[in-house]
Chains A and B, each alone.
Chain A
Amino acid sequence: MIGSALISGLGLGSMYGLLALGFYVTYAVSSTVNFAQGSSMMLGAVFAYTFSVRLGWPFVPAAAIALLLCALYGLAVEFLAVRPFASRGSNAWLMATVALGIIADNTVLFTFGKEPRGLALPWASTATTVLGVHVSTLQIAIPAVGLALAALLHWFSRVTRHGKAMLAVVQNADAARLMGINVPLAIMAAYAVSTIFAGAAGIMIAPLSTVHSDMGTVFGLKAFAVAILGGITSAWGVMLAGLIFGVVESLITALLGSAYTQILTFTLVIVALALMPHGLFGHAELKKV
Chain B
Amino acid sequence: MKRLLITLALAAVLPAAAQEPIKIGLVTALSGQSARAGEALTRGLQVAIDEINARGGVRVGNQSGRKLELVRRDDEATPAKGVIAARELYFKEKVAVLFGGLDTPVALAIVPIANENKLPFMDPWAAGTPITKNGAKDNYVFRVSAVDELVDKAMLQYAQKTFNARNCGMILVNNPWGESNEKGLRAALAEKGVKSAGMEKFEPNDIDVVPQLSRLKSAGADCLFLVGNVGPSSQVVKSLDRMGWMPPIVSHWGPAGGRFTELAGPSAKNVHFVQTYSFFGKQSAVGEKVLKALMAKYPDIKGPGDVTPAVGVANAYDAMMLTALAIQNAGSTDGPKVRDGYYKIDRYDGLIKTYTKPFSPQQHDALNENDYVWAQFIDNQIVPVGVKQ
**Selected interface stretch from A89-97, A109-117, A273-281:** A109-117
The answer to whether the Cβ of B200 comes within 8 Å of any Cβ in the partner chain is yes
- Shortest CB distance B222–A (Å): 16
Residues of the A chain whose Cβ atoms lie less than 8 Å from the Cβ of B211 = 4-5, 8-9, 250-251, 253-254, 258
Neighbour of A8 across the interface among B210, B234, B259, B262, CB < 8 A: B210
Residues of the B chain whose Cβ atoms lie less than 8 Å from the Cβ of A218 = 203, 205
- Shortest CB distance A193–B (Å): 24
Interface centre among B198, B202, B243 (most CB of A within 10 A): B243
Cβ A1 vs Cβ B217 within 8 A? yes
Cβ A209 vs Cβ B235 within 8 A? yes
The answer to whether the Cβ of B284 comes within 8 Å of any Cβ in the partner chain is no
Residues of the A chain whose Cβ atoms lie less than 8 Å from the Cβ of B230 = 116
Asked whether A1 and B215 contact (CB < 8 A) given A117-B259, A205-B207, A212-B231, the answer is: yes
Cβ A258 vs Cβ B234 within 8 A? no
Number of A residues, CB within 8 Å of B: 39
Asked whether A210 and B235 contact (CB < 8 A) given A114-B32, A117-B263, the answer is: yes
Cβ B207 vs Cβ A12 within 8 A? yes
Residues of the A chain whose Cβ atoms lie less than 8 Å from the Cβ of B244 = 127, 129, 134
The answer to whether the Cβ of B72 comes within 8 Å of any Cβ in the partner chain is no
Cβ B262 vs Cβ A118 within 8 A? yes
- A171-211 Cβ-contact flags toward B at 8 Å (1 or 0): 00000000000000000000000000000000001001110
Cβ B231 vs Cβ A210 within 8 A? yes
- Shortest CB distance B75–A (Å): 13
Q: Once bound together, how far apart are the Cα atoms of A214 and B235, in whole Å?
A: 15
The answer to whether the Cβ of A136 comes within 8 Å of any Cβ in the partner chain is yes
Residues of the B chain whose Cβ atoms lie less than 8 Å from the Cβ of A215 = 205
The answer to whether the Cβ of B241 comes within 8 Å of any Cβ in the partner chain is yes
Q: Once bound together, how far apart are the Cα atoms of A115 and B258, in whole Å?
A: 8
Q: Once bound together, how far apart are the Cα atoms of A265 and B244, in whole Å?
A: 27
Asked whether A8 and B208 contact (CB < 8 A) given A116-B231, A118-B262, A120-B265, the answer is: yes
- B175-205 Cβ-contact flags toward A at 8 Å (1 or 0): 0000000000000000000000010111101
The answer to whether the Cβ of B33 comes within 8 Å of any Cβ in the partner chain is yes
Q: Once bound together, how far apart are the Cα atoms of A129 and B243, in whole Å?
A: 10
The answer to whether the Cβ of A131 comes within 8 Å of any Cβ in the partner chain is no
The answer to whether the Cβ of A11 comes within 8 Å of any Cβ in the partner chain is yes
Cβ A116 vs Cβ B205 within 8 A? no
Residues of the A chain whose Cβ atoms lie less than 8 Å from the Cβ of B200 = 257-258
Residues of the B chain whose Cβ atoms lie less than 8 Å from the Cβ of A9 = 211
Q: Once bound together, how far apart are the Cα atoms of A114 and B258, in whole Å?
A: 11
Neighbour of B32 across the interface among A115, A210, A254, CB < 8 A: A115
Asked whether A116 and B33 contact (CB < 8 A) given A139-B242, A212-B231, A250-B211, the answer is: yes
Q: Once bound together, how far apart are the Cα atoms of A8 and B200, in whole Å?
A: 17
Tally of contacts, chain A with chain B, CB under 8 A: 101
Q: Once bound together, how far apart are the Cα atoms of A115 and B260, in whole Å?
A: 11
Q: Once bound together, how far apart are the Cα atoms of A116 and B235, in whole Å?
A: 11
How many residues of B sit at the interface, in one of the four size bands?
35 or more
Residues of the A chain whose Cβ atoms lie less than 8 Å from the Cβ of B214 = 1, 4-5, 254
Residues of the B chain whose Cβ atoms lie less than 8 Å from the Cβ of A257 = 198, 200, 215
Cβ B238 vs Cβ A208 within 8 A? yes
Cβ B263 vs Cβ A114 within 8 A? no
Cβ A217 vs Cβ B205 within 8 A? yes
The answer to whether the Cβ of B64 comes within 8 Å of any Cβ in the partner chain is no
Q: Once bound together, how far apart are the Cα atoms of A277 and B258, in whole Å?
A: 46
Q: Once bound together, how far apart are the Cα atoms of A117 and B201, in whole Å?
A: 23
- Shortest CB distance A208–B (Å): 5
Cβ A5 vs Cβ B201 within 8 A? no
Q: Once bound together, how far apart are the Cα atoms of A258 and B174, in whole Å?
A: 10
Q: Which residues in chain B, 129-171, are within 8 Å of chain A measured between CB atoms?
A: none
The answer to whether the Cβ of A125 comes within 8 Å of any Cβ in the partner chain is yes
Residues of the A chain whose Cβ atoms lie less than 8 Å from the Cβ of B368 = none
The answer to whether the Cβ of A259 comes within 8 Å of any Cβ in the partner chain is yes
- B225-240 Cβ-contact flags toward A at 8 Å (1 or 0): 0000011001100100
Neighbour of B201 across the interface among A210, A212, A214, A259, CB < 8 A: A259
Interface centre among B207, B259, B264 (most CB of A within 10 A): B207
Q: Which residues in chain A, 109-152, are within 8 Å of chain B measured between CB atoms?
A: 113-118, 120, 125, 127, 129, 134-136, 139
Residues of the B chain whose Cβ atoms lie less than 8 Å from the Cβ of A214 = 205
Cβ B201 vs Cβ A258 within 8 A? yes
Neighbour of B265 across the interface among A4, A118, A212, CB < 8 A: A118
- A1-29 Cβ-contact flags toward B at 8 Å (1 or 0): 10011011101100000000000000000
Residues of the B chain whose Cβ atoms lie less than 8 Å from the Cβ of A219 = 205, 207
Cβ A136 vs Cβ B212 within 8 A? no
The answer to whether the Cβ of B218 comes within 8 Å of any Cβ in the partner chain is yes
- Shortest CB distance A246–B (Å): 9
Q: Which residues in chain B, 7-43, are within 8 Å of chain A measured between CB atoms?
A: 31-33, 35
Residues of the B chain whose Cβ atoms lie less than 8 Å from the Cβ of A209 = 207, 235, 238
- Shortest CB distance A33–B (Å): 22
Q: Once bound together, how far apart are the Cα atoms of A136 and B244, in whole Å?
A: 9
Asked whether A118 and B205 contact (CB < 8 A) given A4-B210, A134-B243, A253-B212, the answer is: no
Cβ A210 vs Cβ B208 within 8 A? no
Cβ A210 vs Cβ B263 within 8 A? yes
In the complex, besides A11-B208, A208-B207, A208-B208, 6 extra interface pairs with C-beta distance below 8 angstroms are A115-B35, A115-B258, A116-B258, A212-B231, A250-B210, A253-B215
Task: List 6 A–B pairs whose Cβ atoms lie within 8 Å, in order of A's numbering.
Answer: A5-B210, A11-B208, A118-B264, A214-B205, A219-B207, A253-B215
Q: Which residues of A contact B (CB under 8 A)?
A: 1, 4-5, 7-9, 11-12, 113-118, 120, 125, 127, 129, 134-136, 139, 205, 208-210, 212, 214-215, 217-219, 250-251, 253-254, 257-259
8 closest A-B pairs by beta carbon, nearest first, are A134-B244, A114-B32, A253-B211, A254-B211, A118-B263, A116-B231, A8-B210, A1-B214
